[in-house]
Structure 1
Amino acid sequence: MLVGVDASPQARAALRFAARHAAGLRAPLQVLAVAEDPAAMEPAERALAGAARSLRGLGPLDARTVLRLGAVTRTLLEAAAGARVLVVGRGDRPGDRPGDQLGRTARELLTACPVPLALVPATSPPAAPGERRTLPADPDDGDVLVSLAGDDSDVPVLAAGRDWAVRRRSRLHVAHALRHGPHASVVPDAADGACLVVLANSGEDTDQLLTQVDRPVLVLPRRP
């Protein structure tokens, strides 16, 4: 499992998510920080050192930290080759559009990532007046929701959701986007109380969904 980190709150949430699931899978975890130019090496080193300290507080884990110089998205994609899952935080960072709930790097990864991509938000935003939401007391608790599209992607999506539910010791819920509309019109309500949403990448519909759901989302690439 591979997780990309920087100094952002969403990267810290992604690290926690990746560490828990690498431990559950008994899989090695690679923690990668990327500096886009030599001037960014020191901040990247600090982020990586902070990640290493956090990992020491999460119990026994086969983890290693890596620092690389290069374009962030390209470097993450190169490192993800052969990985079981790539985990990154989602949300705006310096240089992104203000208020962008997905973030430039996450958007770029969505279009090209060849392995399952887990996009983890920093925190859940406060509920609007009159809005009722069921949030897990712990962000790692709750059910796993899979969203099926009624096509060939359903088999791997359901298998991935079942696998994650078993390892989380969570219940598995299924939403049928085919019956009720696109993922973005079905999942936000169905995700109430979930700790993870699993679906196949469906392009613009997935982008829209990710701006509406404040849970980690595991996006499976569509196979040709």
Structure 2
Amino acid sequence: MKHLIFLGFLLLMLTHVQSQQIYLDLGKTFSQFDYKNTEGEKLEGLLGSNQNNLGLGYRMSILKTGWHFLGGVSYQKYGAKGSDQSLGNYYEWDATLLGANVGIDYEFFKPEFNYSERYRFTLYLRGMAATEFLMQGTQIMNSQIYDLKKKEEFDQPFLFLRGSIGAKYYLSKVLSVYAQYMGGKSFLFFGNYSNKEQLRITTHSFNIGISICLTNKGG
């Protein structure tokens, strides 16, 4: 958690220099694991889990249009559990990851902040790419507990691509609140993954957040 606080402080310093808005959101992420062992066999019957997430970032208007550039950090928790009745095995994963995100979005019906437009809804579509690093995690197999930092499938960053749809409500020129759904999937970095354990994660997130305009120009 201290890593997130440090990155958040650094991000806030940067936003005062070059961004128009800062945002903070929190919510729930449903994660589903797709795991294959070294022989390429898929582990069937894994159940997903609902975990908390937290995001902090900046959003900058592109040439004063409805397009925006985004950058931020995220705190994510993923998990899964399952069993193999034929072998009598039980599995459970719990992982906490810290991510760095970049993306773009387009906001529809964006107000010009005349007095009559101060309170209104807008919609946006967003695409994001994220690199996430394992901070801590455990794997339980039957009665044994393992550190995920020592597991092959967690020894490198996860690359996520995500898409989102959201609605924003402007309370004033400075303050707005929003709600969004975001779906995504992790992909393996380039390399040879034959005869190696592989893990892909599919996520579905529902978040609410607050956005503050730093420039007071409605960016």
Structure showing greater relative contact order (alpha-carbon pairs closer than 8 Å, 6 or more residues apart): 2
Structure with greater Cα Rg: 2
Same fold (TM > 0.5): no
**Band of TM-score, shorter chain:** under 0.3
- TM-score relative to the length of structure 1: 0.23
Normalized per residue, the structure richer in strand is 2
- TM-score relative to the length of structure 2: 0.23
